[in-house]
Amino acid sequence: MKSGFNIIWSDEAKNNLSCIIDYFETNWTENGLRKFFGKFEKTLQLISQNPQIFRLTNKRKNVRKCVFSRTLKTLFKKLKSLVILI
């Protein structure tokens, strides 16, 4: 398996993820949290290893969109040959 790109989280992305985690910890079961984070890790792995499988957005140049669920989407951009910014 190839190592993939390094993923760097913007401050906004970190803050958003923190809010999402707080909400889930309050409103979801432990089993639901495990399933969510398992899927989340697999999605990050896909972004890291094969970012081009996600479609480009129409509004921002070189920005791709990963739809994680109906309500949770991630935008990311390849910055350098080995770095992706979320």
How many domains are there within the chain?
Answer: 1
So what's the pLDDT on residue 2? 62
Residue 59 belongs to some domain of the structure:
yes
Residue 1 has pLDDT above 60, yes or no: no
Question: What residue numbers bound the domain in which 55 lies?
Answer: 6-85
Residue 33 belongs to some domain of the structure:
yes
pTM tops 0.85, yes or no? no
Helix, strand, coil percentages (3-state) for the chain, rounded to 5, are: 45, 25, 30
Residue 79 belongs to some domain of the structure:
yes
Residue 1 belongs to some domain of the structure:
no
| Residue 10: CATH number of its domain | 3.30.2310.20
Residue 78 belongs to some domain of the structure:
yes
| pLDDT band per the 50, 70, 90 thresholds, residue 77 | confident
Nearest to 40 by CA among 2, 60, 13, 62: 13
